[in-house]
Every structure is written in structure tokens, then in C-alpha cells.
Chain A
Amino acid sequence: MTYKNIIRSFILLLVCVTLSCKKSSLDLTNPNEPGIPALQTEEGVKRAALGIYNKFGLEYWWLALAGHNIMGDATFISAGNFSWRWMNQTSKITLSNGTVFTPPQGGSQPDELRARNDRSYGNDNAFYNEWSALYLVNNQANLLLDATNDAALKLSGDPASKINTLKAWAYWWKGFAYSRIGSLYISGIITDVTNETNDQFVLNTQLIEEANKNFDLAAAALDAVTNDASYMDIISAVLPSFTLTGTGGDITKDMWKRQINTYKARNLLVNKKLKDMTAADWGSILTLTSNGIQSGDKIFTMRSAEVNDLVSGSAWSPWRLLSFGWEFLSERLVQDFKPGDERFTRNVTTQSTVVNRSGRGYQYGTRWVLIDIADGGDWASLQYGLAEMPVAGSYEENALMRAEALIKTNEIDGGLALIDNVRDYQKSGLAHVSGTGLNADEAYEELRKERRIGLFLKNVAFYDARRWGVSSKDGGRQNAVVIGPGGVADTKATIYYNYLDYWDIPNNELDFNTPGAGSAPVVSPQ
């Protein structure tokens, strides 16, 4: 073959090769992510179950929960990011000398939050974050339920027990999601169909009922689990490994059912004003808490991690309370420590006084800062994995709910004994109050203080402020400590918070989901 012919043949070959390029070469699959058929495998459903944790996101662990802290006035944030500034914008502060402070900019919390209820605000729309995070959780749980109902799903060991464990997992998180939404928003959507919604907004009370229904389904699924080894095989795969320490760990069926009871008790307690609670309500709480979380129980917890984390290492309150001026310890929390409480000496120290931070109001002032767990504290840490936060209920919360019900049903000493238990459990070093002859009001004040301190960073601060009438339009707090001008601490100030009891539905929802006929209101009446 001559030189020229080689070249000519080469060209001919190129023409043939290129023109014969097949369409099949376009059939690429995504090499990065598995498709839906992965859910028909045991490993796939386990991962989908763990995936529920992925759906909470920054929106929940940091934006929503910090919002609850500040609206409960356990902490404060003056930064405008994510509308925090507006979430804890008090309407009026009156010092003991009669000086009145109204917001230097903007109006009341409801007005400011509503002015930002627009999709264009993204995460700066306060109404958006908890709503969206928990509906993502609900949908992932729906996906998991679909997978457990798929006949093609192949499981090892005792498949029925594994399926029931997975169902319990899905129902538990659906119950959790509906509980949180029903405890914050005026209404919501009930949807059990993956990737679908509907236009029937139901009242928050119905959401709580739906939550309890899902909790019951979870408990029933747990009752149907017969093989403990198969149960534990699932449980060890679906709990984040970095939470399996402290009170976190492998949760047995019974422990889990006790958490369900504790959460159902919370659902009852925090969604009614204290003054509206009936004897029957207290009776129900006594029943539920009698089989609620015990002191040795492993519970659902959250921690930070260096890698493969859920809170970006530092994006949650237990970190931000120590670093870079995000979240500050409130004077109103610190004033609720009883003298001699070793939790105070372990956890709280002074810093240079913060007054009227950034000129945004006198509620943004404090003399206090937390001590890192690494230095002997209990709550917050700059080191990964040290701080722990319960996700749902805790032993302390169950005990204090029970204590409250006992006090309210005139078993004062029984209630105080539970408060003492919690204080001992948390190594407060405080003298026991049971058997000291406190009257009902005094006993309730012990309970109130203990809920403030004992349940600090346990995600109920706002619920309490609301049910006690502190944060509400018709409420307020007297004898509050406020750092006034010149850094002077006024211990007899009055704060009128005037916060929304229940939130409006975010327009992120309403823009695409117009409430259907017969829907519950989507705007809080306040």
C-alpha cells in the first residue's frame, strides 16, 4: 500500500467510524446516584431510613430550633439573618424607672414576620424553615413506607420484623413532623402520598391528632416486631453513628414506645394554654408519662461531627452560643437559676457586658456567656461531638411533665420529688424541695424554673413561653432582668413580647397550593 493510500484509507475509516456512531452510545446512566430500584434492596431501605435525618437540614437544626430558643427568651439573637432579629423583637420594654423602649426599627414581631412572608426572602422568611424541613421529612417517611409495601423488597433475617421496624421508623418521624408543625402553625396539610400534597388545610389540633395517630401506628408496628435481632439490625443502621453516645444509643422497642408516650404527653401539654388545661388533660399526661422515658433510656439525640455531619459542624445553637456573637444567653434564663445551682457555676460565666446589641433593642443585652463542655459545662461546646441535644423527648421532660400534672392535681410533694430527681440527675447540687411544705404556687414556680433550666436547649422554651402566656399578645413578663443604658442591670423590668402564638402558613406553600373549599384558616387570627 502506498503512502497516499494509507492516508486515503485512514480517511475512509474515519468516515465509517464516525458515521456509524450509534444512538445507543447516548444511553448513559447517572454514575453518581442510585435510582429508585435501590429501594428494593435491604441496604437501600436502610439507607432511605437513615436519609430521614438528611431532610431536616440547616433549616431545622439551626434556623428553626434557634428560633424556638429566642422566642422562648432562653437565648437571644440580634442578627437579622433568617429574620431572627424580628422573631425576638419585643414590642415594649419598661424599665423599673418607667423608661419605655419600643423597637428602634420596625414594628411588632407578627408584623415583621408577616412582612417577610414572601418566597423572595428564601430562608429569611421565618415561616418557611420549619415548615419546609418537616414536610421533607414527612415525604421521605412516605417514600420509606412505599418501599416497605413493595413486594419486590428482599430482606434477610426475619423480613416481617424488619418491615415492621422500618414502618415504625417512618410512622415515628411522620408523627414527629406533624407534631412540630401542629405545635407551631395555625394549620397544615396531611399527606401520606409520596411527592404529593393536597389543598385541604386542617387545623393544628387535627395535625396533632394525626401526629398521635402516626405515633400509635409506630407503636403498633413495634408490637408486631417479633425478632429482636432483626429489629436491632435495622436500628443500628438508621441511627447516625455519632449520636450513639451519652443518652443516645441503640434504642430498644420498649424505650422507643416510651418516647412515643412522652411525645404524646408533650403534644397535649404544649398545645394548650396552661389556664385551659383540664383535669382530664392532666390525667392523660399522668397516664402517658407513667410509661414515658426513664432515666436510663436511650433516646433520639443530635450531635455535631467533624465529617459526614448533620449540622455542618458548627451550625447549631450548642456551637453558636460560644462563638462569634450569634446567639447569646438571655438574662431572663439566667435569672431563673436558683441560688446555689451548680449547673449555673458549671455553665455560666461573665463576659464584658452586651447592651442593646447593634442598637437593635434592649432585649439584646447580657452579662453572661456559657462555659464549654470541654471546660466542665453541660450544654455547649466548640468541640465536635461533645454537646448533645435531644431530638424528641428526654427523661427530664417526661419527669417534669409528670411533676406538673401531679402538682396541678394536688399531689404537690410527688411532683416536687420528680423535680428533685431531675435536679439530681443533672447534678444541680440543689437542696430537695419535696417535703418542704411548698404550696401549689410555690411548687409550680419550682417547676417553671426547672423547666427553664432543666430543659434548656431541649427545644420546648417557646412552647412553654406560649402556654404560660409570657410570649403572647396578652402576656408579658414582670420582674425581668434587662441590661439598660449604661450597662445597668434592671431586675424589675417588664417585657411585653407580643409574639404570634401560632404562625401563618408560609407563602412558599400558598403560592402553589391554594386552600381548597372547607380548608382551615392559613393565617393566624392574632
Chain B
Amino acid sequence: MLFLMSLTVLYGIAQSRTVTGKVTDDKGNPVPNITITERATKKAAITASDGTFSITVSKPNSVLVISGIGYDVKEVNADRASELNSIVLNESTNSLSEVVVTGVGAATTKKKLGISVESITAKDLPKVSTASIDQALVGKIAGAQISSISGQPGQQASILLRGINTLSSTQPMIMVDGVQLQAGNNTNGSASNLSSRLSDIDLSNVERVEVVQGAAAATIYGAQGANGVIQIFTKRGMKNGRTSITVNSRASFDNVIRGKLRIAQNHFYPTDDQGYIIDADGNRVKPDAAGVWTIPEAVLESTSVNDKPFLETTYDHVDQLFKKNALTLNNSINVSGGKDKMDYSFTLSNTKQESILFGDYSRTNLSLNLGMELFKNFTLRTTSQLVYSNNSTGGITGQNNINSALGTALSTKQYYDLTAKDSLGNYIVNPELDNSINPFYNNQFRSYNAKNTRIIQGVNLNYKPFKFLEVDYKYGIDNYRFDYTNYVKYQLNTLTPGNGVDPVNGQLVFDRDNQTLQNSLLTLFLRADFEKDFHINVPIQSTTQVAYDWRKDAYQNITATGVGFSPFPPDNLSTATSQSNSENQTQKVTFGYLINQKFEYANLLGVSGGVRIDYSSAFGSGSKAFTFPRGDIYFRLSELLKSKTLYEFKLRGAYGEAGIQPGAYDRFITLSSGNIGAGGYLALKGTANNPLLDVEVSKESEVGVDLGIRTRELATWFSDIRLSATYWNRKSNDVIRAIDLAPSSGTLSILTNALSLSSHGFQASLDASMLKSENATWNFGIRFGKQKSIVSNISNHKDIVIGGSGSGQFVLREKESIGAFFGVQPLSRVDQASSKGDLYIPADEAADYEVVNGMVVNKTTKAVAFTNEQVKIGDPTPKFNMSFINDFTFLNKFSLSFQFDWVYGNQIYNQTNQWLYRDWLHGDFDKPVTIGGETKPFANYYNSLYFTNQTNAYFVETGSFLRLRDLSVGYNLSSVFNGNVVKTAQVTISARNLFTISNYSGFDPEASANLNDPTQRGLDLYAFPNFRTFQIGLNIGF
């Protein structure tokens, strides 16, 4: 041995010679494709499949830099043979391997996690046409309900992670590269038409996404983590990597999903001898020069039968409204690479999406991620994103049936032509001057525009001064300016002055949001290995994390309104005859400490515990701190079993608490202020603030198991199966909601810690390598989630009212599911009595009624009779949701992937249908019913079910659906290009939402009116349906 060593030393004196070595990971497995570079000469070599390499070095004591994707860089002296032969690389935090940081603070391999953290890398995210992360995550995260509830451009998907633990919003906290990001929504036309800040983030710049779903994992984020955390890691370059350029270009075509909604083909209006509809004066209905129609004599009587075909030309209004093949273009270029002390990645991308309704949305992102080692063990990383977007699609969805494009198109009589114009060339405001506005008129005389400019800057300093200590400092600043204008043109020179978009004399609203979020996070990691560092013969490793976290959120809104323009241009705030303005500012400061201690016993067992202490300007009087404890444990049975088949078998459990803060000034008693005419006023608030408000606290426990099964080494079929399952249970206390007060007190409600909510659920994911052969691979995955949340307590035990006035009489009721629908029911028995024992139908009138289709109907009027008590009539919570993911490759050239999403057992309140029943327009009106021995399509039977928009059980439907979310076929063109200049080339054709299997009678069972509102899920009130997309994409790497 000594001889050999001497030889090596002697040999080392020679100028140029070859050295060999071997690279393994921390488990001793050989690592291929690792780059070995001689620092002085930049000569490089690559490790073989067994981890070995050989490289020619030029001088004595030459330094070799060992680097590879997913590993920390290491340096070795080429003359120390023993070190060369046992180079151990540690997985780095930005690894593509199974290392996560979210929820655990310190980078941890998944197998040593005591909590459930989902992670997904960019290659597994679909290249959705909108280039938005939320859309790409649909169906990918086990247990999470991420739903594409709207086709509205610029609005994010609805995100509900584990259960409902607050009533404000289910939106989780969003982080990018370790710092919090603004992920709220700005108004874009109506309460249900929002511009989402999460949608600003460019998918093409995303390397990896991690999701922690509940408080057990989110405790380290303290008073803002209760809804869970989604962390996005942006693309980085590679130290010592060559410069690579990737160009990605995609074009896609969108068409609305029409579902099963049908409009009546017949009518019951009085007609003349030829069968044409007549008005009350006996003349055929017709439009005048202004396009206003005379109105049919609308005599809806008990005998009215909907069986007369329209002789007038009829129009398919849905077809008229939605564009065909709306085009979305998406282009991006990424340049990345690195030198020995630095790496860089630069991305420029642009998306331009034409809405299937009106307007378009374009977004440009410019990102730079730059990392450098300033000196040994000290790295600096800076990440920048510039975002500019322009969205003119606002206002097309809205909850009321006056301005919602979909609502007004649907509630129009069959023979009205939405695209008709009057003699001045204007669209018709409303063909019967009724209380809704033709969407084409609306689009002609009103325009929305939202311009958003945003900069997100992060800085990360990381220093490892000694073996034991790592100091990490992150600072992020995220600022956006959202300029929204809502412009109504002057309409008093139309042929129908006075009927139009309000106000008819014109209005310009300029509404600017400016928000800055700063997040500063200092973390110290103290690591010790008892064996190596203290020479104690037990394989215990200790990690101590101490962190200090500060954040400041500053928001300002300025709204300027000008009303009253002249018939001539220009229209601006200065030319309006009246102006007003308002300002609103919000600031929030929080800071907190985290201490977390973890002990691990070899690879067998780990336990950790910690506490997060938070202070906030929004907390209760005296600003006392809130404390959130946590702890987790895992035990890897597989270490004891030493089975080659069951290579992973881990049991884990965790407990944690996290919070949601009250609104910034909810605890201050102030007077509302504003202007009436030229004067300022002060008034008591209708909803009183409360100085005693506490933080909402969510407490969660979870237990889980992770399994890895390998059938045989190098098996072709079913070679590797991984299963992960988690059961969780959580309880949220002090949930804030305004509860009603007696109006005579002069205050209608007061904000208070009103509710306790409890939830539990189960989530599981399965990933299997179904086939792995030289020419083909098939990977299969299942994501499963099941959850239920109920209101366990309301402080005054009274229902909390949610809706009312056109959006459902929904309430929150103790012991019932959150968001359950409440309403009245059609009577099912003629002798049905109320809960007080009163007969709904007096006994002496019982003979006038009979049961039709399960509902009690008056034989004379044909009207359905209803109860008058508010009871639970439906629940939007699915029994489960799951996804099936398949990826195939053939001959290393073809790829095929598809994903099915299945939501089962949820219910939808179809208020769109209810409105169509009001206007005698729904296709059901054509269906005959048998009443009093007569079988005819009785109009009053259907119309009576509308029940003046009162929420009733008839419109509750099953919303289950199975959707082919994504289908993608790719062909690798690399071989065409010989690989000299063009390294990779891939063409992809894909389809999204290609088909949906559902019994739902509306447009789209996935569409819902309210984003992230836990109390009004599953409400289809002119919900903007999703669209079916075909996409062709080209990806070229240089």
C-alpha cells in the first residue's frame, strides 16, 4: 500500500498524467454523468455509469471541480488518490431529485420527511396554453382540489388544499425561491372576474413546484401558513455548464365547452293564423328602427303549453357569443449556462391569449437567475422577474344578469339576433328594453383594461463558515402596479338614450392598485453528526434551525371617477363634467421567530419539534405574540426489513399549528368616511370592527405511510411502484366572520372570531414504472384526495348568511358542511307538513294536487308547491377527486401522455338554469309532463320551479365528471439535426379538456362563479365555462 502511494506521489511529479476516481452519492450509489473539470485548464471528463472517471491533469496539486445536476459542487486535489476514489456528492437544494425544502426549512430528502410534501418538476407539468402554474397543477397534487373554474383569461384556478379552515379565501401562501409572493386578486370588472397575481408567474421559468397542504407542514410559516404553501423554484443555470439556448413556441386554439345546456325550441305565445307570434295589439312582433321589438302578449296561464314552433328566424346565442378557434400564442427563449463560480439562466417569454368572449390578454415575462460563489462557501444568488401584462377581457363574467355576457346572451328570446345593428350601426341594447344589456352592445360601449407592471426581486446570501454552521439570508421585494380602467362611452346619442350601460352619459373609472411585499428571512442551520463530529458511537445527526422572518405588506388604491362626457371626444377624467376620487391604504407588518430541532438516527428514524412565534400589526390589542408549535416523526421500517422488494417502507406522523391573520385594521374602531356631494361625511360602520379579534388558528395532525416496491432488478414490467398515503385531521378555531346583530342596535354586524371548523381527509398517490425497456417506457400515476369540512361551532349558534339577493340564500349552519346549499324543497307528498306540524296544503284542498315527477303539483295551475323551511339541499364537496396520469415513450422519439381528472359526488347549484326557467327559455320547457291526466309541455309547471329565484332543491344537480384534461403527443426531431448546432428539437401536439363525461345539464361542471370563496363553491351562476384547446408546440435547444 505504502509502495503504491509512493508511486503515485512520484508519478505526480511528472507534468501531465492521468488520474482516476469514483463518484458516489451519500448512500454509496455510483453517480454517472458528473463533470470533472481541472480548474486551471478547464479540461473536463464525465463519470461513467459506474461512477468512475479518468482525466488528464496538467500539473501537481491540480484542483478538480466535481459538479453535476442536483448535487453540490465539490473540489478535490488531484494528487490525493484516496479522496479521488471516494468522492461523495451531496444532493443540493435545487436538485431535481427527491429533495424538498418547503415546510421543512432545511433541504431534506423525501425519504427522511416526517410530513407530507408534494413536489413536481417542470417536465411533469403540462405546457398549458395560458402558461400559468395553477392551470398546470390541476390534477397533479394528491389531495388538493385545484379546479379550473373559469375560462376567464388572467384569472387563476381555484385552489383548495387540505380542507376549509377559513372563510375568507382558500388561497394558499405562494412562495418563489424561498420568499413570499403576492398572490391575491385584483378586480377586473366584477366580483367574479378577477385578475390573479399568481397568473403573472411564467410557467416556462419554473423548474419545480412544492406543495405543503396543511398546518402540520406549514407551521414554519406561522401566522400566514394555515392555507398551506405552494413554493415555486425558478430555473437556474449550471455551474460549469455550457451555454444552452432553448426556444419554445406554441400556438393553440380555444373553443368553448358547451356541455348539455339546451334552449327551448318551442314557445307558448299567442300567434296569428299563420302561426307567427303576435303582440298585445294583435300585430306580429317585429323590431322598429331602433331595433326594439314589440313584445309578445306574454300570457302565461295554467293552460299555456310550450308546443308552438318558432316560425321566426331563431338564433343560437351561445354560438353567436363565443368566438371560434380563439388563438393563443406563446413564445419563450431561455439562455442558461455557467462558469466554475457562477451560473445564470435568462428567460424571456410572451403569451398572447384571445378570449373566447371579448378582448385579449397578453403577458411578457423577463427573468434572470444569477448565482455566484463570491468566495469559498459564500454564495450569492439574485433572481429577478419583470412582468408586464395587459388584459382587456374584464367584465364579461359577472354575477348579475344585467351585464354578464353569458347571462344576457342566454336570457334573450330565441328570435332576437344578438348581432343585429340599428340604423346608426349600433348594436341593440336590449331588444325589448328589458333589464339586461346585449353583450355586443356592452362590448361596443364599454371597455375594460387592466395593465399590470410587476417586479419581483430576490436575493439570497448563503455562507457556510464552519462545518457546523450555515447562515442563509433571503430578501425578496415584490411590487406591482395594477392600472385598471372601466370606460363607459357616451350613449345619449343612440337611438335608445336612457337605456344602456349605466351611466349613459359616460364614465371613466381609473382604479390603481399599488402593492409592495417585502420578505426578509434570516436562517441559521447548525448541523452535527455525533459519530463524525463528536466521536460518539451512535449514528445520530442533529439539525437545528433558527430563523427570523419579517415581512411588510403595503397596499394603496387610488380610484378616480369622471362622469358625464360630451358627444365629441376626447373622453378622459378632465373632460368629465363631474369627478370624484378616493384613496385606500393598507399596511401590515409581521415578524416572527422559528426554532426547530431535528434528530435523525442513521436512515432509520427521525424526530423534530419546534415552535414559531409571530407578532403582527393585525393582531389583537396589545400585539401579543402568537405561538405555533409543531413536531413530526418518521420511522423507516425498510431499514430493518432490508428487503430488496420493499425497498421503502416509512411510517410518519406530524402535528402543527398555523394561523391566518385578521384584516390589517379590523381591530380599530374608526368611522367610515367619504363624500356626499361637495361635503365629507363620517359615519358609523355598518359592520363593526372588533378590538378583541384574534388570529385564526388551524391545528392539524397527519399520519402517513410511504412505500417503495421493486419487483426485480431490471424488470421490464412493473419494475418500480411507489405509494404514498396520508390521513389528516384539522380543526380551526377563532375563524373570523362578521356575525349579524339586531339592526335596532344601529350596527348590522360585527367582525368576530365566530366559528370553529373541522376537516379531515385522506390523500394518496401512486406512481408506477409500468414498462421500462430499451424501446419503450410507460409511467403511470394516480392522485387521490378526499376531504370534508364542517362548521363545528358558531359562537351565537345562529346561521351565518352567505348569499341572498340573486346569488342563493346560502347559510353556514352549525354541524353542517361548509358551503352546503340551503333552500326550500318542492313538496314530495300532498299531505306533507312543516316541522311545526302545519300542513302545507290544507286537507280540503288536497284533491287539487297530485305528485308529478316526485313533486306536488296543483292540477289546475300546474304550479309546483314548495316547503317554506330552509334545509340543506345539496353539498358542493366531492366525495373524492382523483387523477390518472400516463406517460409513454417509444423508440426515444415518440412520446404520449394523457391525464384524466375525475371529480365524484359533488353537487352544483345550477342557478343559470333557474334564470332560464324564469324566462321560459330552457330546453326543458319542450318536455311534456303529465298533470291531471294531460300530457303536455305545461309552461307554468316549469316556470313555477323558478320560484322567483329562491334557492330550491330542484336546481341541485350532481356535478360529477371525468375529464380528459390533457392529451399530448410529441416527436423528437433531434436526429434530424445531427446535434451540432441544434441539440434538441421536439414537436408536440396536445389537447386540453378534449372531452368530459358528465350528467351535468349546464355548460361545464367544473366552472363555478366564485374564485377561492369557500362558502360559495359549486354555484353555477352564469359561470364562465372552460374551453377545449388544441395546441401545437415546437421546442428547440441549441
Residues of A within 8 A of B505 (CB): 306, 383-384
- Whether the Cβ atoms of B746 and A313 lie closer than 8 Å is no
- Whether the Cβ atoms of A31 and B587 lie closer than 8 Å is yes
CA distance A139 to B745 in the complex (A): 7
CA distance A117 to B239 in the complex (A): 71
CA distance A365 to B433 in the complex (A): 16
CA distance A38 to B672 in the complex (A): 12
Q: Which of B295-303, B324-332, B759-767, B986-994 contacts A (4 or more CB under 8 A)?
A: B295-303
Residues of B within 8 A of A34 (CB): 670-671, 673, 682
Given A4-B375, A11-B471, A511-B798, answer yes or no on A241-B677 (Cβ-Cβ < 8 Å): yes
- Whether the Cβ atoms of A355 and B298 lie closer than 8 Å is yes
- Whether the Cβ atoms of A120 and B801 lie closer than 8 Å is yes
Mask of B270-301 contacts with A, CB within 8 angstroms, 1/0: 00000000011110000000000011011111
A194: nearest residue on chain B (CB-CB)? B746
Residues of B within 8 A of A3 (CB): 374-375
Given A195-B747, A485-B299, answer yes or no on A48-B682 (Cβ-Cβ < 8 Å): yes
- Whether the Cβ atoms of A509 and B671 lie closer than 8 Å is no
- Whether the Cβ atoms of B669 and A11 lie closer than 8 Å is no
Mask of A303-341 contacts with B, CB within 8 angstroms, 1/0: 001111110011000000011111000000000000000
Contact of A26 among B589, B811, B950 (CB under 8 A): B589
Residues of B within 8 A of A91 (CB): none
- Whether the Cβ atoms of A14 and B742 lie closer than 8 Å is no
- In the assembled complex, how far is the CB of residue A383 from the closest CB belonging to chain B, in whole angstroms? 7
Residues of A within 8 A of B943 (CB): 105, 359
CA distance A46 to B665 in the complex (A): 25
Residues of B within 8 A of A104 (CB): 300-302, 861, 863, 940
CA distance A170 to B2 in the complex (A): 105
Residues of A within 8 A of B747 (CB): 139, 195
Cβ of A55 within 8 Å of any chain B Cβ, yes or no, is yes
- Whether the Cβ atoms of B744 and A30 lie closer than 8 Å is no
- Whether the Cβ atoms of A23 and B801 lie closer than 8 Å is no
- Whether the Cβ atoms of A325 and B298 lie closer than 8 Å is no
- Whether the Cβ atoms of A487 and B280 lie closer than 8 Å is yes
Residues of B within 8 A of A310 (CB): 676
Cβ of B575 within 8 Å of any chain A Cβ, yes or no, is no
A31: nearest residue on chain B (CB-CB)? B585
CA distance A43 to B679 in the complex (A): 10
Instruction: List residues 22-50 of chain A with CB under 8 A from any CB of chain B.
Output: 23, 25-36, 38-39, 43-44, 46-48, 50
Contact of A513 among B589, B678, B742, B920 (CB under 8 A): B742
- Whether the Cβ atoms of A19 and B548 lie closer than 8 Å is yes
- Whether the Cβ atoms of B504 and A308 lie closer than 8 Å is no
Q: Which of B432, B505, B665, B671 has the most CB atoms of chain A within a 10 A radius of its CB?
A: B671
CA distance A7 to B464 in the complex (A): 12
CA distance A38 to B684 in the complex (A): 12
Cβ of A436 within 8 Å of any chain B Cβ, yes or no, is no
Mask of A422-449 contacts with B, CB within 8 angstroms, 1/0: 0000000000000000000000000000
Contact of A36 among B499, B671, B745 (CB under 8 A): B671
- In the assembled complex, how far is the CB of residue A318 from the closest CB belonging to chain B, in whole angstroms? 12
Cβ of B971 within 8 Å of any chain A Cβ, yes or no, is no
Cβ of B623 within 8 Å of any chain A Cβ, yes or no, is yes
Contact of B676 among A194, A308, A513 (CB under 8 A): A308
Residues of B within 8 A of A27 (CB): 617, 623
Cβ of B934 within 8 Å of any chain A Cβ, yes or no, is no
Residues of B within 8 A of A197 (CB): 742, 744-746
- Whether the Cβ atoms of B374 and A7 lie closer than 8 Å is yes
- Whether the Cβ atoms of A32 and B585 lie closer than 8 Å is yes
- Whether the Cβ atoms of B281 and A38 lie closer than 8 Å is no
Instruction: List residues 854-911 of chain B with CB under 8 A from any CB of chain A.
Output: 861, 863, 868, 870
Instruction: List residues 568-601 of chain B with CB under 8 A from any CB of chain A.
Output: 577-580, 583-589, 591
- Whether the Cβ atoms of B298 and A486 lie closer than 8 Å is no
Contact of A11 among B461, B804, B861 (CB under 8 A): B461
Given A81-B805, A104-B300, answer yes or no on A131-B670 (Cβ-Cβ < 8 Å): no
A33: nearest residue on chain B (CB-CB)? B670
- Whether the Cβ atoms of A26 and B683 lie closer than 8 Å is no
- Whether the Cβ atoms of A32 and B665 lie closer than 8 Å is yes
Instruction: List residues 448-503 of chain A with CB under 8 A from any CB of chain B.
Output: 483, 485-487
Residues of B within 8 A of A487 (CB): 279-282, 297
A362: nearest residue on chain B (CB-CB)? B299
Cβ of B463 within 8 Å of any chain A Cβ, yes or no, is yes
Cβ of B675 within 8 Å of any chain A Cβ, yes or no, is yes
Number of chain B residues close to chain A: CB under 8 A = 112
CA distance A284 to B378 in the complex (A): 94
- Whether the Cβ atoms of A356 and B670 lie closer than 8 Å is no
Cβ of B681 within 8 Å of any chain A Cβ, yes or no, is yes
Residues of B within 8 A of A26 (CB): 589, 615-617, 619, 623
CA distance A513 to B676 in the complex (A): 33
CA distance A37 to B820 in the complex (A): 43
- Whether the Cβ atoms of B678 and A35 lie closer than 8 Å is no
- Whether the Cβ atoms of B676 and A324 lie closer than 8 Å is no
- Whether the Cβ atoms of A356 and B803 lie closer than 8 Å is no
- In the assembled complex, how far is the CB of residue A319 from the closest CB belonging to chain B, in whole angstroms? 9
CA distance A138 to B742 in the complex (A): 13
Q: Which of A121-129, A213-221, A262-270 contacts B (4 or more CB under 8 A)?
A: A121-129
- Whether the Cβ atoms of B671 and A324 lie closer than 8 Å is no
Given A23-B623, A121-B804, A237-B679, answer yes or no on A324-B430 (Cβ-Cβ < 8 Å): yes
Contact of A382 among B498, B665, B741, B940 (CB under 8 A): B498
Q: Which of A21, A305, A512 has the most CB atoms of chain B within a 10 A radius of its CB?
A: A512
Mask of B660-704 contacts with A, CB within 8 angstroms, 1/0: 000011001111111111111111101010000000000000000
Cβ of B497 within 8 Å of any chain A Cβ, yes or no, is yes
Contact of B681 among A28, A47, A81 (CB under 8 A): A47
CA distance A372 to B497 in the complex (A): 11
Given A28-B587, A194-B746, A485-B299, answer yes or no on A53-B681 (Cβ-Cβ < 8 Å): yes
B295: nearest residue on chain A (CB-CB)? A352
CA distance A508 to B583 in the complex (A): 33
- Whether the Cβ atoms of A115 and B868 lie closer than 8 Å is yes
- Whether the Cβ atoms of A314 and B502 lie closer than 8 Å is yes
CA distance A160 to B520 in the complex (A): 56
- In the assembled complex, how far is the CB of residue A311 from the closest CB belonging to chain B, in whole angstroms? 11
Cβ of A191 within 8 Å of any chain B Cβ, yes or no, is yes
Residues of B within 8 A of A314 (CB): 502-503
Cβ of A54 within 8 Å of any chain B Cβ, yes or no, is yes
Cβ of B434 within 8 Å of any chain A Cβ, yes or no, is yes
Instruction: List residues 88-113 of chain A with CB under 8 A from any CB of chain B.
Output: 104-106
Residues of A within 8 A of B623 (CB): 23, 26-27
A55: nearest residue on chain B (CB-CB)? B683
Cβ of A164 within 8 Å of any chain B Cβ, yes or no, is no
Cβ of A135 within 8 Å of any chain B Cβ, yes or no, is yes
- Whether the Cβ atoms of B498 and A323 lie closer than 8 Å is yes
CA distance A196 to B465 in the complex (A): 64
- In the assembled complex, how far is the CB of residue A461 from the closest CB belonging to chain B, in whole angstroms? 23
CA distance A53 to B689 in the complex (A): 21
- Whether the Cβ atoms of B674 and A308 lie closer than 8 Å is yes
- In the assembled complex, how far is the CB of residue A327 from the closest CB belonging to chain B, in whole angstroms? 11
Closest 7 CB pairs of A and B: A139-B746, A122-B804, A359-B300, A487-B280, A241-B677, A51-B683, A80-B948
Q: Please name 10 further chain A to chain B contacts, defined as beta carbons within 8 Å, in addition to the given A11-B461, A48-B681, sorted by A numbering.
A: A14-B473, A34-B682, A35-B670, A52-B683, A82-B805, A140-B746, A197-B746, A306-B577, A359-B920, A486-B297
Q: List 22 A-B contacts (CB under 8 A).
A: A26-B623, A35-B669, A36-B669, A44-B682, A104-B940, A105-B948, A119-B811, A120-B870, A121-B809, A122-B809, A128-B743, A138-B746, A139-B746, A191-B745, A352-B279, A382-B497, A384-B505, A486-B297, A506-B743, A508-B743, A511-B798, A512-B741
A interface residue numbers (CB < 8 A to B): 3-4, 7-8, 10-11, 14-15, 18-19, 21, 23, 25-36, 38-39, 43-44, 46-48, 50-55, 79-82, 85-86, 104-106, 115-116, 118-124, 128, 131-132, 135-136, 138-140, 142-143, 188-189, 191, 194-197, 237-238, 240-243, 305-310, 313-314, 322-326, 352-360, 372, 382-384, 483, 485-487, 506, 508-509, 511-513
